[in-house]
Amino acid sequence: MWRAALDGQTYLDRYNHQGWYGECFIQVLASAAGLQAYKPIPDCTGVDLQIGLPSEIEDDFPRMEAQVKTWSTPKQRNGCWQYGRMDEKRFNLLTGKRTIPRFLFVVIVPPESGSYASVDPTALTLAHAAYWVSLADKTKIPDPSSKRPVMVSIPTTNLLTVESLIQLFDPLRTVESP
């Protein structure tokens, strides 16, 4: 009976599947970097993942918070990804200086879920790539709406890798606008 249920379909709807894949993509990078990654429950502050260093540094265990978005139809202009699927309320949750830094991670994914991952005896390959941006230097939008989109520019040079993820913990890293 269970074989009939396993007919090759995906069981999450397209958008939940894509979002879950994006969060797992970031968790894989965090794992490869030797970091902790966990999901706050309940999700009520615009944070999809918290990522932490499992080592004490100057009497603290540094961490960051990330909002993870996925995108199967990326648009690029002037060396930046032009992400226009964030509403003003979500944007405001990432802006300004915070005690725990927040980042937007955008995972560019294939349009078809069957292309998310490929496996051979020597490697698991995840498609395509993730990019990061800090909005700490941006001003909150007054009277924000969840109905109005905000265009966020993400430099194509901000590829999220094991190394760049670790570097995001550096408190002396400068925050620059694209």
Polymer length in residues for the chain: 178
- What pTM did the predictor assign? 0.89
10-33 pLDDT tens trace: 578 889 999 999 999 999 999 999
CATH of the domain spanning 12-167: 3.40.1350
Condensed to tens digits (0 to 9), the pLDDT of residues 37-66 reads: 999 998 889 999 999 988 888 888 889 999
Q: Name the β-bridge partners of 107.
A: 70, 130
d(CA 91, CA 148) in angstroms, rounded, equals 10
